[in-house]
Amino acid sequence: MDLEIRNIDDLRAKIALLKIKKQEDEIYLNQKYISVKEKLTSPFSFVKNLFISNRSFSQPSSPLKADFVTSLGRILIPLFLNKTILRNRGFLFKTIVSLISQKTINSSVFNKDVLSNWIDKATGFVKSKTKKEKRYGIDDYGIPPESETA
């Protein structure tokens, strides 16, 4: 592989070849360095991006004033999640989920109107008809419509 250097032209060609090889090696090592650096810093940049307020994600384009339901939701929803869904999770996981939920709750997503709609749907689901209301209708006078009266 190594060429024998017999004269000055061979020496100059070998020097030029080694300079090109040096540049190629520098480019390769620089690319590897950048690749390894990105792999090592990607988890940190992900967490950093979660906590930096991104206008398109955390805030609507026209800022709305937060009512008391939104303010309470920012406090109570993370507590509710920690007591129910995230019961046996680690402290770090609970903290991250709490911070994310506080960032995502804004007045356009969670306000009095949205809460009242949720409550109406829940009460409509819980308040179901009894067997008699399902079978005979709401107006039940005690006499079934199929019976004969004497």
Place of tokens 């988890």: 43
Q: What is the pTM of this model?
A: 0.37
Q: Which of the four pLDDT bands, split at 50, 70 and 90, describes residue 81?
A: confident
User: Could you report the per-residue pLDDT of 23-77, keeping only the tens digit for each?
Assistant: 999 999 999 999 888 888 877 776 676 666 554 444 444 445 667 778 888 888 8
Structure tokens at 132: 């008699």
Judged by average pLDDT, the poorest of 54-68, 71-85, 97-111 is: 54-68
pLDDT in the model for residue 78: 83
Residue 13 has pLDDT above 50, yes or no: yes
Q: What is the largest CA-CA distance in the chain?
A: 132
Average pLDDT over residues 107-115: 77
Tell me the C-alpha distance between 95 and 129, whole Å. Answer: 42
Q: Which of the four pLDDT bands, split at 50, 70 and 90, describes residue 7?
A: very high
Proportion of the chain in helix, strand, coil states, percent, rounded to 5: 65, 0, 35
User: Could you report the per-residue pLDDT of 112-138, keeping only the tens digit for each?
Assistant: 787 788 888 888 777 765 555 566 555
CA distances (Å), origin 137, targets 124, 125, 128, 142: 17, 18, 13, 12
pLDDT in the model for residue 92: 86
Place of tokens 């650096």: 37
